[in-house]
Amino acid sequence: MSKIVILYHNNRCSKSRAALALLQVRGIKTQVVNYLDVAPTFEELQNIFTKLGTDSPRSMMRVKDSLYRELGLDNAELSDDDLLKAIAEHPTLLERPIAVIGDKAAVGRPLENIEALL
């Protein structure tokens, strides 16, 4: 049985394109989710966050993006749900690429994070 990787992808991002190329070169079945065209739901984002196994949704957010600061998301009092709702409303805040394989996920910065899942 071959694994299927779900790749949250932005074609305008060189890291995201590199992750997709890596999966294609390895012949790994990939379901590409162009998350800027079809934004992940709050529930999907909760699922990704759980699979990442990190302490905060900020690990899957573009914290250096100006929108992050404009929305006041650097406020330490915000809950995980507050942050995930912000990503659901503003998918540009989602870090890219993110690969999900089974019950694990990784942000592909650096690309070795995704390689470690394979």
pLDDT by residue (tens digit) across 53-69?
999 999 999 999 999 99
Q: Could you confirm whether 14 is annotated as catalytic? A: no
DSSP string of 21-61, one letter each residue:
HHHHHTT-EEEEEETTTSPPPHHHHHHHHHHHT-S-GGGGB
Indicate the number of domains in the chain: 1
Q: Say which CATH number the domain at 107 has.
A: 3.40.30.10
Among residues 2, 7, 10, 13, the one annotated as catalytic is: 13
Can you give the pLDDT at residue 16? 97
Can you give the pLDDT at residue 2? 60
Domain with 59, as residue range(s), is 4-117
Tens of pLDDT, residues 28-41: 999 999 999 999 99
In this prediction the pTM is 0.94
In order along its 118 residues, the chain shows pLDDT tens digits of: 468 999 999 999 999 999 999 999 999 999 999 999 999 999 999 999 999 999 999 999 999 999 999 999 999 999 999 999 999 999 999 999 999 999 999 999 999 999 999 8
Can you give the pLDDT at residue 1? 41
Can you give the pLDDT at residue 3? 81
